[in-house]
């Protein structure tokens, strides 16, 4: 796919927004096929464990909520203004999975060294066949195009390492994961198996109520306790695990004494829940801050452990009926004011120490739109301020 064709596709996809509404974008089947082939080649030319450098912005699940994807780019800056890492689950549930994945793939082809996509559990034929993407492809194009997307998804990388300190994946840890080389050595193209390392990286979940490894009520993979997070970080000299995969009320949620963070970037998920969406920015000193999209209505309850809402990732063995994908999902793109939280800060700031801190004022953030309601400084240190060396 030549550069002019990619530029034209990106332009049309960005022009879809008209005020608060986003229209369906007319695309030709041939150009989408060419885009998938080009993206597949880029994915296979890069490692399965991406080794990235800050500054970078990290986004969680999108799930076809194209209007919210466009708002993330409004607030974070269009590529290549900023580097991006997306953690997977681009399709299913929302109304515009095709627009969402096509814009992401086009940016990947256009800026292969600045824009990165990881695989989520919904980038798998057995899941998106049931939860909306297959039906959208069939309705707007044909089943053959869905298979082209499947071939592309099978080549996506599954993890990223930022400055050797922040490990990112869609799901979580695996009892089979002993060294990071195991991730590098996962063969591609590959379908997602029902068990094993690749499955766990895309499917596992943290659980505050257990220690060690537990049975996952999704019917696939495991849950892991905070002790497993600490052990893994210490063994591999890491500071933070960054993952997605679960709806969390504020768009981000910490676990294991701030050694793991979940990011979810689809506010008002499915039009049914009152969650915010979030994007995490990591600057070149490994200081992390969050931009948060405010939800519109109260719908559900959230939290790690037994009371966690998990509508986006159904059990593999007994798939429930598909959710209604025609729900009206008009999203208010306002930022949610964050509660001020401060922790003792006794250590020196230096590269390699991951910190969570947003010290910039609103005036210092030129990318934030006029829809901003409030953004309070958020200052805290990961790992209780202790540097692991």
Q: Show which residues are catalytic.
A: 122
Q: Which of 94, 146, 130 is nearest to 321 (CA)?
A: 130
Secondary structure (3-state) at 334 = coil
Radius of gyration of the chain (CA): 19
Q: Which residues pair with 380 in a beta bridge?
A: 356
Contacts 24+ apart (CB under 8 A), 298-302: 298/274, 299/268, 299/272, 299/273, 299/274, 300/247, 300/272, 300/273, 300/274, 300/275, 301/249, 302/247, 302/248, 302/249, 302/253, 302/275
The answer to whether the peptide bond before residue 80 is cis (omega within 30 degrees of 0) is: yes
> Which residues have CB under 8 Å from 67's CB, separation 6+?
17, 20, 21, 22, 96, 331, 333
For the record, the structure tokens of 39 come out as 């993206």
Task: Give yes or no for a contact between 264 and 309, defined as CB atoms under 8 angstroms apart.
Answer: no
């Amino acid at each position: 796919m030549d550069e002019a064709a990619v530029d034209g596709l990106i332009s049309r996809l960005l022009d879809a927004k008209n005020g608060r509404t986003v229209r369906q974008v007319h695309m030709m089947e041939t150009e989408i096929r060419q885009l998938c082939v080009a993206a597949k080649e880029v994915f296979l030319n890069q490692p399965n464990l991406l080794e990235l450098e800050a500054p970078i912005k990290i986004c969680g699940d999108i799930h076809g909520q194209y209007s919210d994807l466009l708002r993330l780019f409004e607030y974070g800056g269009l590529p290549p203004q900023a580097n991006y890492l997306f953690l997977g689950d681009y399709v299913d549930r929302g109304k515009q999975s095709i627009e969402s994945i096509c814009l992401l793939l086009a940016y990947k082809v256009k800026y292969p060294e600045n824009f990165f996509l990881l695989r989520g559990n919904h980038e798998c034929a057995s899941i998106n066949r049931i939860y909306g993407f297959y039906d959208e492809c069939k309705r707007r194009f044909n089943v053959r195009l869905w298979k082209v997307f499947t071939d592309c998804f099978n080549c996506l990388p599954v993890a990223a390492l930022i400055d050797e300190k922040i490990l990112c994946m869609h799901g979580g840890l695996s009892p089979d994961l002993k060294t990071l080389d195991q991730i590098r050595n996962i063969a591609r193209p590959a379908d997602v198996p029902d068990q094993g390392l690749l499955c766990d990286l895309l499917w596992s979940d943290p659980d505050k109520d257990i220690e060690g490894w537990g049975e996952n009520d999704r019917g696939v993979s495991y849950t892991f306790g905070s002790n497993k997070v600490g052990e893994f970080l210490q063994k591999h000299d890491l500071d933070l695990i960054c993952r997605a995969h679960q709806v969390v009320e504020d768009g981000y949620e910490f676990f294991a004494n701030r050694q793991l963070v979940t990011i979810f970037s689809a506010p008002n998920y499915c039009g049914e829940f009152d969650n915010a969406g979030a994007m995490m920015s990591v600057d070149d000193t490994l200081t992390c801050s969050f931009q948060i999209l405010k939800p519109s209505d109260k719908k559900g309850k959230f939290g790690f452990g037994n009371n966690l809402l998990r509508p986006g990732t159904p059990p593999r063995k007994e798939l429930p009926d598909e959710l209604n994908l025609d729900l009206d999902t008009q999203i208010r793109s306002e930022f949610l004011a964050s509660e001020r939280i401060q922790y003792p800060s006794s250590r020196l700031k230096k590269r390699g120490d991951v910190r969570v801190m947003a010290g910039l004022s609103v005036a210092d953030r030129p990318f934030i739109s006029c829809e901003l309601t409030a953004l309070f400084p958020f200052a805290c240190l990961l790992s209780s301020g202790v540097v692991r060396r």
